[in-house]
Homo-oligomer: A and B are copies of this chain.
Amino acid sequence: MAGLKQVQRQTGVALWRQIADRIREAISTGAYDETGMVPPETVLALQFGVNRHTVRSALAALAQEGIVRAVQGRGTLIERKERLNFPITRRTRFTAGIGDQAREMRGLLLDEAKEEASTEIAGWLGLKQGEQVIRLETLRHADRRPVSKATSWFPAERFAGIGEAYRRHESITKAFAELGLPDYVRATTEVTAAHASAADMADLELTPGAILLIAKAMNTDLEGVPVQYSISRFAADRVQFTIEN
């Protein structure tokens, strides 16, 4: 494992949090796979150029996330290091995409509302501003760990009852099928990253300062008519996107 560089003394983000982020990243890239343990606190303190107590705060945060477990006398064991891969293709589907990497997939409907399309949403869905759309707020789990939270909009007229269908099937694909749309394709995806809002942080069980990968996607039916626009927020330390060209 290449030596982790010293952290920069800076303001706004606590040192222990920066160090926690570095260690989490090192774990997920397999830097400590040989031993299955994080280096001793004193070694980490030396590497990062900080006091041992600061390292302890970082490790405590990682333990809180369930990533490591400290055992007195032995060391700090790595509990979890996986990162789910989320392929983005023309046939992108959340459940199928993650499904082969996790045993149990769940989709929870947090909120449902019928509302007037904003300029932006109307543009994406090919509607006029003010036309009715259905908005779904969904939270998706893989093996009981929250992976992403999404806000989706659908043309209200065509997909009346999609909230109820999603609640039953826990899948957009199946909800579409029930409403007479057997197949659809991903038209465009925009990817950005940002800090998590308080609400997303709570739902995704993220710790302060966590990063979101944000995918704004538009799906169409096979004729190219928009059927869904969605903004999905993924916990950045739990997933990666893959784009195959």
A interface vs B, CB < 8 Å? 5-8, 10-14, 16-18, 20-22, 25, 61, 83, 88-90, 92, 185-195, 197-199, 201-202, 207-209, 211-213, 236-237, 239-245
Contacts and interface: CB of A to CB of B under 8 A. Distances in A.
A189 B236 contact: no
Contacts of A12: 13-14, 16-17, 20, 61, 207-209
A191 B240 contact: yes
11 contacts: A8-B202, A12-B16, A21-B195, A25-B194, A92-B245, A185-B245, A189-B243, A190-B241, A191-B240, A192-B213, A193-B211
B192 A236 contact: yes
Contacts of A197: 5, 22
A77 to B, nearest CB: 23
Contact of A191 (B8, B187, B191): B191
Contact of A5 (B7, B14, B186, B199): B199
